[in-house]
C-alpha cells in the first residue's frame, strides 16, 4: 500500500522524488570521490616518505658508521629541501642493550618531536602512520643486514587538510548546481507528466459539474495517459447511456406510479367500502352472538322449566287426588250427619283417612314448594351476576336438583366432592351457568354413543381462590378442534341443533364475570379435564 499522503500533488511528488534522488546520488558520488582522494593521497604520502627515508638513510650511512656527528651536521643539508618535512631524527642502535641513542636531529619549527628510546617504540613506527596533522615513519638503517641505526621522519598533512577544504567547497558548489538542475528537470518532468492529467481532471470535473457526459477527452502525448483518456471516454459513454436509460425508466416509472396510484386509490375506496360493510357485518354478528348466548341461556332455563314442571306435576297431582278423596269422604260424613245416620266407627274411619290425606297433601305440597324454591334460586342465579355470600355445596345440589328431570332418564352418574360448610363470597349466577353448561356438554357430546358415564366435580379452596376440577370419562375432544374449543360457533353437532356457544359462554363467564382462568386437557376416548380457578372471599 502506498505511503504517499492523499493530499500530496503530482507536482510535489515529482519535485521531491527527482530532487531527492539526484541530490542523494550527487552526495554519494562526492563521498566516494573524496574517499578515493584521501586514500590516494595517503598512499602517495606514504610512498613519498618511504622514498625520502631511503634517500636520507643512504646519505647519512657513512657518517653513522664512522660516528662523524659533526661532519654530518655540517654537510647534511638535504632535509631543508624536502617539502612538508617537520622533523628528522637519526638514531644509533646498540644491539647489545637494544637502546637507541640520538645521533642527529632536524626540525623545521621550534616544536620538538618525541624521540623513541627503545626498540619496542620503534616497531610501532616501522609503517607510515597518520595522526591528526602529520605522518610518522621510522626505517632501520642496515649494513650487511645488520641494523646499526634508525631514521625517523615526520611530514605535515596540512596540505591534505587544505586540499580537503577546497574539495569540500567544490563539492558544495557542485551539489548546489546539481540541485538547481534537478529542480529544473523535476519541473519539466512534472509539467510533462501532469499536464495530460490536469487536462483529464478538468474534463472530468466539468462533465461531473455540468452533467454533460457527451464530451470526449483529447488524445494524450504518451501511452499511459492516452489509455486513461480512452477509458474515461468509455466511462463517459456508459454513464451517458446509463443516464439516458435512467431518464427513460424514470418517465416509465412515473407513468407506472401514476397508474398504480390511480389503481390504489380505486382499490382503497373499494377497500373502505368493504371495511365499512365488514364492520357493519361484524357488529351484526356480535349482536347475533349476544342473542345466541341469551337464547342459549333461555333454552337452558326452558329445559329447567320443563323439568321442574314435570317434577312439580307429580306431587301436585297426588295432592289433588288426596284432596278429592278427602272431599268425597267429607260429603259422605255430612250426608250421614244430616240424616242422623252417622256412626262412631264411620266417624273414626273418616278421621283416620282424613289425617292420611292431609299428610299426603302436606308432604306433596312441601315437595312442590321445595322444587319451585330451588328453581327460583337457580333461575335468579342464572340471570344475575350480583356478588353474594353462599354455600358452595348447597349451590351444587340446587344445580343437580334443577337438572334432575334430564338426569333421571339417563344412565349417567355425577359425583361431587366438596367440603361441607364451604361458604364463599362470589357470583353464584355465573358458577351456576358454568356447571349446567359443562354437565349438558358432557351429556350431549361427551357421552354420545355410550351406555354409561361418570362426571366428577371436585371443589377445593386454594388461598384466596376456588379451584373447580371437572372431569368426565366420555369420548374426549378431537385434536382438530382442541385448540379452538372455546371459540364461538365451534361444535361437532353443526346442522344437528348445536350452536357452538356452550363452551364459549363458559370461557367468557370464567374469564370476564369471575375474573379467573380455565384450562382444558383431553385425549380422544379418554374423556376431558377442565380446571377452573377464580378469586373468592371466604
Q: What share of the chain is helix, strand, coil (3-state, %, to 5)?
A: 60, 15, 20
Would you say residue 316 has pLDDT above 70? yes
pTM over 0.75, yes/no: no
Written as one string, the DSSP assignment of 224-287 is HHHHHHHHHHHHHHHHHHHHHHHHHHHHHHHHHHHHHHHHHHHHHHHHHHHHHHHHHHHHHHHH
pLDDT digits (tens, 9 = 90+) for 370-383: 666 655 555 554 45
- Using one digit for the tens of pLDDT, what is the confidence trace for 164-201? 777 778 878 887 887 788 778 777 777 777 677 677 77
Looking at per-residue pLDDT, the higher value among 286 and 174 belongs to 174
Strand ranges for 65-179 from DSSP E: 85-94, 99-107, 129-130, 134-143, 146-156
> What is the C-alpha to C-alpha distance for residues 302 and 501, in angstroms, rounded to an integer?
17
Provide the grid cell at 536: 373468592
Left (φ > 0), alpha (ψ -120 to 50) or beta: where does 50 sit?
A: alpha
Q: Under 8 Å CB-to-CB from 164, ≥6 apart: which residues?
A: 34, 38
Top-confidence residue, 262 or 356: 262
Kindly report the number of other CB atoms within 10 A of residue 130's CB atom: 16
All residues at 6 or more sequence positions from 440 whose CB lies less than 8 Å from its CB, including other chains: 300, 403, 406, 502
Count of other CB atoms within 10 angstroms of residue 155 = 24
Q: Can you list the domains of the chain with their CATH numbers? A: 10-180 (3.30.450.20), 389-538 (3.30.565.10)
Alpha-carbon distance 340 to 336, whole Å? 6
pLDDT for the residue numbered 393: 92
Beta-bridge partners for 458: 417, 469
Does residue 444 have a pLDDT over 70?
yes
pLDDT at position 106 is 78
Query: pLDDT (tens digit, 9 = 90+) per residue, 108-126?
Result: 765 554 555 444 555 667 7
Amino acid at each position: 500500500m502506498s505511503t504517499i499522503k492523499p493530499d500530496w500533488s503530482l507536482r510535489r511528488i515529482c519535485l521531491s522524488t527527482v530532487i531527492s534522488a539526484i541530490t542523494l546520488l550527487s552526495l554519494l558520488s562526492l563521498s566516494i570521490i573524496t574517499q578515493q582522494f584521501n586514500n590516494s593521497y595517503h598512499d602517495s604520502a606514504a610512498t613519498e616518505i618511504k622514498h625520502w627515508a631511503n634517500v636520507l638513510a643512504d646519505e647519512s650511512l657513512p657518517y653513522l658508521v664512522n660516528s662523524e656527528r659533526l661532519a654530518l651536521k655540517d654537510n647534511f643539508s638535504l632535509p631543508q629541501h624536502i617539502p612538508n618535512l617537520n622533523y628528522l631524527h637519526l638514531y644509533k642502535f646498540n644491539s647489545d642493550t637494544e637502546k637507541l641513542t640520538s645521533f642527529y636531529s632536524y626540525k623545521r619549527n621550534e616544536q620538538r618531536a618525541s624521540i623513541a628510546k627503545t626498540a619496542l617504540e620503534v616497531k610501532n613506527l616501522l609503517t607510515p602512520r597518520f595522526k591528526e596533522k602529520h605522518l610518522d615513519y621510522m626505517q632501520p638503517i642496515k649494513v650487511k643486514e645488520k641494523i646499526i641505526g634508525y631514521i625517523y621522519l615526520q611530514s605535515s598533512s596540512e596540505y591534505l587538510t587544505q586540499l580537503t577544504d577546497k574539495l569540500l567547497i567544490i563539492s558544495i558548489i557542485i551539489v548546489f548546481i546539481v540541485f538547481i538542475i534537478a529542480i529544473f528537470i523535476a519541473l519539466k518532468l512534472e509539467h510533462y507528466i501532469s499536464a495530460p492529467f490536469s487536462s483529464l481532471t478538468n474534463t472530468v470535473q466539468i462533465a461531473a459539474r455540468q452533467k454533460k457526459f457527451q464530451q470526449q477527452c483529447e488524445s494524450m502525448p504518451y501511452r499511459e495517459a492516452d489509455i486513461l483518456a480512452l477509458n474515461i471516454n468509455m466511462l463517459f459513454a456508459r454513464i451517458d447511456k446509463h443516464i439516458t436509460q435512467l431518464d427513460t425508466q424514470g418517465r416509465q416509472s412515473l407513468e407506472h406510479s401514476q397508474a398504480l396510484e390511480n389503481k390504489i386509490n380505486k382499490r382503497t375506496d373499494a377497500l373502505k367500502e368493504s371495511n365499512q360493510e365488514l364492520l357493519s357485518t361484524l357488529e351484526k354478528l356480535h349482536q347475533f352472538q349476544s342473542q345466541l348466548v341469551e337464547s342459549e341461556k333461555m333454552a337452558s332455563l326452558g329445559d329447567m322449566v320443563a323439568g321442574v314442571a314435570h317434577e312439580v306435576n307429580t306431587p301436585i297431582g297426588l295432592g289433588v287426588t288426596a284432596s278429592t278423596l278427602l272431599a268425597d269422604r267429607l260429603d259422605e260424613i255430612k250426608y250421614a250427619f244430616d240424616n242422623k245416620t252417622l256412626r262412631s266407627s264411620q266417624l273414626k274411619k273418616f278421621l283416620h283417612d282424613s289425617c292420611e290425606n292431609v299428610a299426603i297433601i302436606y308432604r306433596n305440597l312441601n315437595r312442590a314448594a321445595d322444587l319451585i324454591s330451588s328453581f327460583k334460586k337457580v333461575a335468579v342465579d342464572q340471570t344475575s351476576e350480583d356478588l353474594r355470600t353462599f354455600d358452595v355445596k348447597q349451590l351444587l345440589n340446587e344445580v343437580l336438583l334443577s337438572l334432575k328431570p334430564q338426569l333421571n332418564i339417563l344412565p349417567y352418574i355425577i359425583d361431587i366432592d366438596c367440603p361441607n360448610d364451604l361458604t364463599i363470597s362470589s357470583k353464584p349466577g355465573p358458577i351456576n351457568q358454568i356447571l349446567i353448561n359443562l354437565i349438558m356438554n358432557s351429556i350431549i357430546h361427551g357421552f354420545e354413543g355410550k351406555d354409561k358415564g361418570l362426571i366428577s366435580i371436585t371443589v377445593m379452596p386454594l388461598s384466596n381462590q376456588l379451584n373447580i376440577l371437572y372431569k368426565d370419562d366420555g369420548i374426549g375432544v378431537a385434536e382438530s378442534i382442541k385448540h379452538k374449543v372455546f371459540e364461538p360457533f365451534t361444535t361437532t353437532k353443526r346442522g344437528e341443533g348445536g350452536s357452538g356457544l356452550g363452551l364459549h359462554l363458559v370461557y367468557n363467564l370464567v374469564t370476564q364475570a369471575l375474573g379467573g382462568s380455565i384450562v382444558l386437557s383431553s385425549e380422544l376416548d379418554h374423556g376431558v379435564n377442565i380446571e377452573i380457578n377464580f378469586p373468592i372471599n371466604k
